[in-house]
Amino acid sequence: MLQFIFGIIGGTALLMYGVDLMGDSLEKISGPVMKKVLAALTGRVWKATVAGGILTALVQSSTAITVLTVGFVNAGLMNLKSAVGVIYGANIGTTITTQIMARFYTFKLTDIALLVIGIGFTVQFLAKRRRAKDLGMALMGFGFMFLGLKILNEGVPFIKDNPSVKYFFENYANKPIIAVFLGMFATMLVHSSSATIGISMALAQAGLIDLNGAIGLMLGDNIGTCITAQMASIGASISAKRTAWAHTIYNVIGVLMALPIFALFRNLIQLTSTDISEQIAHSHTLFNVLSAVIFLPFTGLYVRFLEWLVPDRGKTRISEHAKHLDPLFLETPVVAIDATIREIKATAEITRGMIQKAFEGFFNEDPEILDSVSKDEDQVNILQEQVTKYLIDLSKKDIGAAISSKIPALVHSINDIERIGDHAENLVELTREKINKHLVFSDQGIAELNELREAIDQMFADTIAALEHTDPEKAALIIQHEVCIDNLTDALRASHIERLESGLCLLQSGVIFLDIVSNLERVADHMNNIAEAIINDLK
């Protein structure tokens, strides 16, 4: 009996570990591609469903896809209707794991489990590239999954020999309603739908449960797997809460629709195969496909229901300022990095506006515009603190070297942007001095400052574009801009000295002129630092 208990515990643990390891590794391999595919395929609900199904089948992580979807909704790149479509597809894509496990029994893959683990270990141990290492880890996860199934299968005879346990399975677990609750609670407990379905396959192969019980466990499993999203959404954004409830209610309604036609559904599954494990896998796939087909025409109504159920009461994510950062993303590092870059880009757009407002206040001597720059500076300071804290929290997670290497570059980038905000504030103070002392600038001086302002603004535009796509080619343009601005500021200083010597410029006005030029030169230096980070660390 002790050997049986150890086998159940160890087999389930290996199965869960294998599924998680395989999913995490495939996610790291495919991470940079996920957001591009979702962005390209989520224009309509059916496209979103296809994208969710393909990506989840590829990375074997419906959680990662759901988190990425929430990120798109938060950023305004995807509406809730498309996000719900991705959930439909993710539910279908995650059934691939079940189909793989069914092949364990069909093709008797027991004997190759240890071989696959050995091959995977060799690949990840010898590989130099990160993706190759991740591929090796995915193979190891694949092997551990089958090894866990093997150990579970070996423990089944002990169950058959125990009269009490056998009686429970034969008289209770085979009743669909009871099986639904058993599957739901088991999946909530182990946080792995694949593990509970794997166990149900082992029980079915031993004859302890029939197809009625297996389908019931599968239906309960679909509800139980929602607990992860619900737990992850606690304290998260309104989009995360709606997405979690979309997943939960969708699965609950699907199960409630399946129960009245349970016998018909079971008979349909029996036509697909004579092997019980394949029947279980097919039931899992067909249930989720049919649920998506039924829900698709009513997605608009479903979204309005979710918005009513989870109203937006004006609460924000991390504070009243952060727009893209969400603690939920920290569980998927590639998404967290993408969210951080979007937040840095948004902060850069604020500082660009600050420089523009500072110049408008300078030329028009408008105190109200200058006051708005000071308010923007407070916001930039808060965003800098939040981004830094977010990256520190991310660094504490289990992240690979590729993600880890980006964190210092992102910290330096947000610091550079915060310093640009400080220089914009300096421009405001210089403008206030100009206004208070009624200083006059020559037409040539004004024209030269305008020329420098336009060059800085173009550099800003290229910096924001480079951040948006982490584009090294755009970043190279920024470095070229910085050289041109250095040459321009040298020329402006020389021209200013000539005006002073010829008496065309007042001394006090000249001091402010030189300070403005120096501040804008430092702004260009900070943008140059961001460009170097994109080229060397973020590409």
Q: What's the whole-number mean pLDDT along residues 322-336? A: 76
Shared domain for 449 and 493, answered yes or no, is yes
Q: Tell me whether residue 316 is in a domain.
A: no
Task: Give the Å distances, CA to CA, from 410 to 381, 405, 422, 530.
Answer: 15, 9, 19, 9
Give dist(CA 495, CA 305) in Å, integer.
66
Residues 265 and 372 in one domain: no
Q: pLDDT tens digits, residue range 27-78?
A: 666 655 665 665 555 567 888 888 888 888 877 667 667 766 766 676 566 7
Phi, psi of 108 (to 5 degrees): 50, 60
Q: Are residues 180 and 272 in the same domain?
A: yes
What number of other Cβ atoms are within 10 A of residue 130's Cβ?
Answer: 15
What is the CA 65 to chain-centroid distance, rounded?
7
Q: What are phi and psi of 435, to 5 degrees?
A: -70, -45
- Locus of tokens 């109200």: 368
Position 368 scores a pLDDT of 86
pLDDT at 9 over 90: no
Do the domain assignments include residue 320? no
Report helix angle 211-224 to 176-190, nearest 10.
40
Tell whether the model's pLDDT for residue 179 goes beyond 70: yes
* C-alpha to C-alpha distances, 307 to 141, 239, 303, 313, nearest whole angstrom: 39, 10, 6, 11
The yes-or-no verdict on residue 317 having pLDDT over 50 is no
Q: What is the DSSP code (8-state) at residue 173?
A: I
Domain containing residue 464: CATH number = 1.20.58.220
Quick one: pLDDT at residue 297?
Answer: 93
In a domain, 147, yes or no: yes
180 domain-assigned: yes
> Is the pLDDT at 313 greater than 60, yes or no?
yes
Residue 229 is encoded by which pair of tokens? 């999203």
Q: Which tokens belong to 354?
A: 């600050």
The answer to whether the beta carbons of residues 452 and 485 sit under 8 Å apart is yes
User: Do 402 and 261 lie in a common domain?
Assistant: no
Question: Do the domain assignments include residue 315?
Answer: no
Residue 280's closest CA among 354, 349, 212? Answer: 212
**pLDDT over threshold 70, residue 105:** no
Residue 293 lies in a domain: yes
In terms of domains, do 55 and 165 share one? yes
| Whole-number Å distance between alpha carbons of 286 and 272 | 10
Reported as a single tens digit per residue, the pLDDT across 409-434 is: 999 999 999 999 999 999 999 999 88
In a shared domain, residues 414 and 506: yes
Domain assignment of residue 42, given as a range: 2-309
Q: Based on the fold, state whether residues 162 and 246 are members of the same structural domain.
A: yes
pLDDT tens, position by position, 356-396 = 999 999 888 888 888 899 889 999 999 999 999 999 999 88
Last residue in a domain, options 254, 283, 309:
309
Asked if 458 and 474 touch (Cβ cutoff 8 Å), the reply is no
Same domain, 363 and 467: yes
Give me the percent of the chain exceeding a pLDDT of 90: 36
111-127 average pLDDT score: 86
The residue with greater pLDDT, 525 or 438, is: 525
Examine residue 450 and state whether it is found in any structural domain, yes or no.
yes
> What's the DSSP call for residue 437?
T
Same domain, 53 and 115: yes
Residue 130 predicted with pLDDT over 50: yes
Domain count, the chain: 2
Label residue 326 by pLDDT band (50, 70, 90): confident
Residue type at position 422: D
Q: Which of 309, 339, 359 is the last residue of a domain?
A: 309
In the chain, count of helices (H) and strands (E)?
23, 0
Q: What average pLDDT does the chain have?
A: 83
Q: Nearest-CA neighbor of 142 among 22, 235, 59, 31?
A: 22
Q: Are 297 and 331 within one domain?
A: no
Cα 464 to the chain's mean position, in Å? 21
Lowest mean pLDDT across 128-142, 225-239, 300-314: 225-239
Residue 34 lies in a domain: yes
Domain boundary among 309, 338, 367: 309
Confidence of residue 353 (pLDDT cuts 50, 70, 90): very high
Mean pLDDT of 171-180: 86
Taking the CA atoms of residue 144, residue 34, residue 317 and residue 471 in that order, the dihedral angle to the nearest 10 degrees is 130
389 and 283 together in one domain: no
User: Do 262 and 341 fall into the same domain?
Assistant: no
At position 244, the amino acid (one-letter code) is A
Both tokens of 152, joined, read: 């579970």
**pTM of whole model > 0.85?**
no
